[in-house]
Structure 1
Amino acid sequence: MDQQTANILLELGAVLLFLDAPANFNFGIDCFSWRTGPNFKGLKLIPPGQHFVYYSSVATAAGGETAGIRSGFWLDLKPRQVVVKRWNPAMEDVFDDAEMDAEDTERHRINFRDFDRFLGVYPLLPTDSDPVSPYEKWLRLTTHITLAIAKRILPKSGKISAMSCVSRFSDVDDARGEFRSRGRDQTEISGADTAASTGSSSRQHQNEEAGKVEVLRLEFTPIDIKRSFPSGASGAERTKYSIDKSYLLRKVLKDHFKDYKELLGELQLSFVLFLIGEVYDGYEQWKVLVHLLCQSDEAIDDLGSTLFYEFIEILIKQLEAHPSDFFMDALSSDNFVRANILLLTRSMSDRTNPAPGNLHEALEALLSFVDSRFQWDVRRDARFAELEEDADDGEYAPTIA
């Protein structure tokens, strides 16, 4: 961090006091997490803007350490703002703001510098193993997430929990597997001994039965990807728009968003909820939006240089996000991403109307990235699919008498 940036953050950086946190506790903000020490009291020099703070307990057994269920809260920090949170050991979560003593909280807010030597520094610098800093990763993943989008989708309290978050997917009886993070790199914060899902339907039932855990509702935009044709459509229209989701995409944009950037913001927030918050319903909404965008051939004519171009840029950043067993388990169990990139690639090559040049460049960058990172040779897949279609339509294709 250069001196100018340090001076700006010293002047404008926000502070999070996180009081009474247990030692040996997983604590993270945005794209980085630590194991807390006995003197941990929070973080300082936090850049103004939106952030996701999360935490989980750590259990030690003969087989090693196991992380507990991840919980956290979303923050929109103003310059020089001081936020005070306090750990509730009985609930193994932070107290609600309304449960905290207002005078005590205000006293800590005014005298926050008393805790300065016990505060970790927000991770602005790259680590030894990664040239991209955690803050830069966070900015790349949240370019289109506005405060309005976060307020619309997240619970009013801003709280997020892998156990108690529910959404429109919570009533879907599916066969999703159990995905758990098997641990991220833990890095101690130096100085002063400080270190700074399962199926949703069953989860919601358990929460309500227990009567002790707040059910946190995520208000994702309702999109029925299986019904993508107009009401009263002819047989030909039903066939066309069941394959090409352009009608549904345009309707979703018209009915639910002021502009296409808001849809991309929901795509990003869904991904962050899944990748960092470990909320599986976030993955479900992300899948729906990826399906919708990769299968809307006709809409590329008028949205290719804007929505689709920015979508591909976002998808690359999401797929190159920091390593996560949780994410990779999901990709390997339900590899819809490769299939959808193939559909988008074939759509771009088979077009009657040429796609914008910047979109071709973005797609080539995506194909090169997934080939290098995941060994997905989508270009080869597209060639094979084209050869198979040519064979089906050729001289020796089967005929119907």
Structure 2
Amino acid sequence: MSAVTDHGFEGYKFVPAGVHMFVWRAGEEDMGVRNVFLHRCEQGDVVLRKYDAQKDAWTTEPRLVVSHDHLKTFDSHLAAYPFAQLPQWQSLTRHLGASKDTFDRLAGEYDSFAYVAEGPQSLKLTQFDIKRSWPPDATGANRTQWSMDKSWLLDRVMRDAASGSNAEHVALLAEFELCFVLALYANNVSALEHWAAIRTLFCRAATRMGAPSYYSLHPCEWQGDTPTLAPPSLDAHIAFLDTLAAQLQCLPDDAWTDQLAEYEAGILDDFVHLQRTIGRALGAWAASSRMRDERVAEPRFAELIAAWRTLASTGRRWGWQLGAELDEEAEAASEDDEDAPVVVY
């Protein structure tokens, strides 16, 4: 929801409990600096903020107590919360709301120029370098493998983000959600870049999804002894695909402007890798059926495929040609993989 206000506006009423982000900017310029206040509201909360016009900043009055009788005098100056838009907002902040420790770390005030780094005004996000995705002691072939397969780095970043909690992917997806809403509502470029890096982490984590390593034989080409594969845990990737689909669904039809063409190209490139990886993972699980213990639980491939198809369908309004069908044998014949380079650092 957006609104143009004057001196008569003094806040919102009927705000439901949960995670909320209040965005404001002064002046009439459409591309002006936007300020963001991220806050978790509890039932019956009264949040008071005071605007300093000289500093163009807001301050919190945590010790100020306001009686309900005094609040009634503000009623005519308070706008009603837009409940019609609440389901969409909740779909964009599901993990932010579920991970209290992560939210407490991320909550605060930012503006359009907040960046991913250390410091009081920075985005308190888990830092990593997507271009250095191998273990510190990796050499030669291992560096080549993990530079293309981001599984090791994804595991490490999820652990760092979660700080020891059980559902490691929830904390990282909470950061993924924060980056998206900051990019969407505050025009924050640093958040957009971090969102893209997290997206690449998930889309290119091949072995974590149960796919064979890059440039190893495709499952349809396996002969003789079949490799013994541990069932992959797909919870993180299913949650990631659901989150990404919710984000894309809320974008306007004209979201991908010329200025964002580079980011759109990056998304489509990641999706190509993701689709191939899912196909290879399905093929590997099917090919290893003879070697598996029947007591091993079936991975959640059906849910992963359904989440991918929802994502593929969401991209159609921008003309994205994402194949909803996952043919694990078609990927083996890809001419792109035949001539793909091997890089050794």
Tell me the TM-score normalised to structure 2 length. Answer: 0.76
- Alpha-carbon shift at residue 385 of structure 1 (Å): 7.5
Q: 1:286 aligns with which of 163, 175, 195?
A: 195
Contact 1:342–1:381, Cα closer than 8 Å, also in 2: no
Partner of 1:274: 183
Tell me how far apart the structure 2 counterparts of residues 72 and 253 of structure 1 sit (CA, whole Å): 26
Over the matched positions of the two proteins, sequence identity in percent amounts to 26
Tell me how far apart the structure 1 counterparts of residues 15 and 71 of structure 2 sit (CA, whole Å): 14
Structure 1 counterpart SS, 2:94? coil
Structure 2 counterpart SS, 1:81? coil
Residue 122 to residue 322, structure 1, CA distance change in 2 (3 Å): farther
Tell me how far apart the structure 2 counterparts of residues 122 and 153 of structure 1 sit (CA, whole Å): 23
- Alpha-carbon shift at residue 341 of structure 1 (Å): 0.9
Residue 47 to residue 340, structure 1, CA distance change in 2 (3 Å): same
Structure 2 counterpart SS, 1:299? helix
Tell me how far apart the structure 2 counterparts of residues 136 and 94 of structure 1 sit (CA, whole Å): 28
Say if 2:88 is the partner of 1:143: no
Tell me how far apart the structure 2 counterparts of residues 390 and 217 of structure 1 sit (CA, whole Å): 40
Instruction: Write out aligned runs for 1:103-182 (5 A).
Output: 105-107=64-66, 111-125=70-84, 134-145=85-96, 146-154=99-107, 158-163=108-113, 165-168=114-117
Structure 1 counterpart SS, 2:323? helix
Tell me how far apart the structure 2 counterparts of residues 110 and 328 of structure 1 sit (CA, whole Å): 49
Residue identity opposite 1:262 in structure 2: A
Structure ranking higher in strand proportion: 1
Residue 392 to residue 53, structure 1, CA distance change in 2 (3 Å): closer
Tell me how far apart the structure 2 counterparts of residues 66 and 329 of structure 1 sit (CA, whole Å): 18
- Alpha-carbon shift at residue 256 of structure 1 (Å): 3.6
Residue 95 to residue 234, structure 1, CA distance change in 2 (3 Å): closer
- Alpha-carbon shift at residue 329 of structure 1 (Å): 5.5
Q: Can you list the C-alpha shifts for 1:93-112, whole angstroms capped at 9, x where unaligned?
A: 223538xxx6xx43477611
Of stretches 361-370 and 302-311 in structure 1, the one that deviates more from structure 2 is 302-311
- Alpha-carbon shift at residue 240 of structure 1 (Å): 1.3
- Alpha-carbon shift at residue 323 of structure 1 (Å): 2.3
Structure 1 counterpart SS, 2:43? coil
Q: 1:235 aligns with which of 104, 123, 140?
A: 140
Tell me how far apart the structure 1 counterparts of residues 193 and 155 of structure 2 sit (CA, whole Å): 21
Residue 324 to residue 285, structure 1, CA distance change in 2 (3 Å): farther
Contact 2:280–2:331, Cα closer than 8 Å, also in 1: no
Partner of 1:62: none
How many positions carry a matched residue from both structures?
A: 295
Structure 2 counterpart SS, 1:73? strand
- Alpha-carbon shift at residue 322 of structure 1 (Å): 4.0
Contact 1:84–1:109, Cα closer than 8 Å, also in 2: no
Say if 2:158 is the partner of 1:245: no
Partner of 1:314: 243
Tell me how far apart the structure 2 counterparts of residues 160 and 303 of structure 1 sit (CA, whole Å): 38
Q: Can you list the C-alpha shifts for 1:15-39, whole angstroms capped at 9, x where unaligned?
A: xxxxxxxxxxxxxxxxx11111442
Q: Can you list the C-alpha shifts for 1:266-293, whole angstroms capped at 9, x where unaligned?
A: 1111111211222221111111110100
Structure 2 counterpart SS, 1:80? coil
Residue 251 to residue 337, structure 1, CA distance change in 2 (3 Å): same
Tell me how far apart the structure 1 counterparts of residues 259 and 101 of structure 2 sit (CA, whole Å): 29
Residue identity opposite 1:149 in structure 2: T
Say if 2:36 is the partner of 1:72: yes
Tell me how far apart the structure 1 counterparts of residues 326 and 259 of structure 2 sit (CA, whole Å): 24
Tell me how far apart the structure 2 counterparts of residues 296 and 39 of structure 1 sit (CA, whole Å): 52
Residue identity opposite 1:368 in structure 2: S
Tell me how far apart the structure 1 counterparts of residues 68 and 256 of structure 2 sit (CA, whole Å): 37
- Alpha-carbon shift at residue 321 of structure 1 (Å): 1.3
Q: 2:313 aligns with which of 368, 373, 388?
A: 368
- Alpha-carbon shift at residue 386 of structure 1 (Å): 6.3
Tell me how far apart the structure 2 counterparts of residues 391 and 112 of structure 1 sit (CA, whole Å): 66
Structure 2 unaligned residues grouped into runs of 5+:
211-230, 287-298, 340-345
Residue identity opposite 1:115 in structure 2: F
Contact 2:278–2:326, Cα closer than 8 Å, also in 1: no
Partner of 1:332: 261
Partner of 1:210: none
Contact 1:50–1:147, Cα closer than 8 Å, also in 2: no
Q: Can you list the C-alpha shifts for 1:227-265, whole angstroms capped at 9, x where unaligned?
A: 112222242211111111111112223344222211111
Residue identity opposite 1:359 in structure 2: L
Partner of 2:223: none
Tell me how far apart the structure 1 counterparts of residues 126 and 178 of structure 2 sit (CA, whole Å): 12
Tell me the TM-score normalised to structure 1 length. Answer: 0.66
Q: 1:87 aligns with which of 51, 63, 76?
A: 51
Say if 2:15 is the partner of 1:46: yes
Q: Can you list the C-alpha shifts for 1:165-202, whole angstroms capped at 9, x where unaligned?
A: 1323x9xxxxxxxxxxxxxxxxxxxxxxxxxxxxxxxx
Residue 390 to residue 42, structure 1, CA distance change in 2 (3 Å): closer
Contact 2:116–2:127, Cα closer than 8 Å, also in 1: no
Residue 75 to residue 325, structure 1, CA distance change in 2 (3 Å): farther
Partner of 1:9: none
Residue identity opposite 1:112 in structure 2: L
What RMSD in Å do the two structures reach over aligned CA positions? 2.9
Of stretches 315-324 and 238-247 in structure 1, the one that deviates more from structure 2 is 315-324
